[in-house]
């Protein structure tokens, strides 16, 4: 599937844009799918649980509160996500192991990088509405991500 988020916004100007400057860090610079949402702060326990499930081409949207102190995704979880059929992750926070993730068959957009892993406290929420960068993302919304940014829509745009 080929798309460009600027073209999607031209065709659907009421779609939402996550108004953050994400870095495109995965091997797939363009990815899309239905959203699975996670809200967590410096604890990637729910991300770990999620990537272990069948992805079916979906996108994990992680609201990490914008923290760059601890990575919510590393090489092992990224590899598991790719192996289980996830299209990608959009992370309002940091990742690590960027050289390995850059060659993993997965789309990954994040705010930044850090070498520090997260604590594992089992905290967070899943499958809730999250608000990131002025956009409301509900479970099941359509996510479209490329080098231009991330578009969110309740209806499919393709």
The tens digit of pLDDT for each residue in 78-103 reads 999 999 999 999 999 999 999 999 99
Residue 90: closest CA among 77, 73, 76: 73
Confidence of residue 119 (pLDDT cuts 50, 70, 90): confident
Tell me whether residue 75 is annotated as binding.
yes
Write down all domains in the chain, each with its CATH number in brackets: 5-12+19-147 (3.50.30.40)
Cα separation, 10 vs 12, whole angstroms: 6
Tell me whether residue 89 is annotated as binding.
no
User: What mean pLDDT do residues 63-92 have?
Assistant: 98
Return the pLDDT at 59: 99
Tell me whether residue 26 is annotated as binding.
no
Tell me whether residue 74 is annotated as binding.
yes
Cα separation, 82 vs 10, whole angstroms: 31
C-beta neighbour count of 114 within 10 angstroms: 17
| pLDDT for residue 124 is more than 80 | yes
Whole-structure pTM value? 0.97
Return the pLDDT at 140: 98
Confidence of residue 1 (pLDDT cuts 50, 70, 90): low
User: What mean pLDDT do residues 109-117 have?
Assistant: 98
The strand pair at 149-153 and 125-126 is best described as unpaired
Return the pLDDT at 123: 93
Chain centroid offset of residue 132 CA? 11
């Amino acid at each position: 599937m080929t798309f460009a988020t600027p073209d999607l916004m031209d065709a659907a100007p009421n779609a939402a844009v996550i108004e953050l400057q994400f870095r495109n860090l995965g091997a797939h610079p363009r990815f899309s799918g239905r959203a699975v949402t996670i809200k967590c702060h410096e604890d990637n326990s729910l991300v770990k649980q999620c990537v272990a499930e069948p992805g079916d081409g979906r996108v994990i949207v992680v609201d990490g509160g914008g923290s760059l102190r601890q990575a919510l995704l590393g090489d092992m979880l990224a590899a598991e996500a790719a192996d289980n059929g996830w299209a990608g992750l959009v992370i309002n926070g940091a990742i690590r192991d960027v050289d390995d993730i850059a060659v993993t068959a997965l789309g990954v957009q994040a705010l930044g990088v850090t070498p520090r892993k997260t604590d594992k406290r089992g905290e967070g929420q899943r499958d809730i509405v999250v608000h990131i960068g002025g956009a409301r993302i509900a479970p099941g919304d359509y996510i479209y991500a490329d080098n231009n940014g991330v578009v969110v829509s309740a209806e499919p745009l393709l």
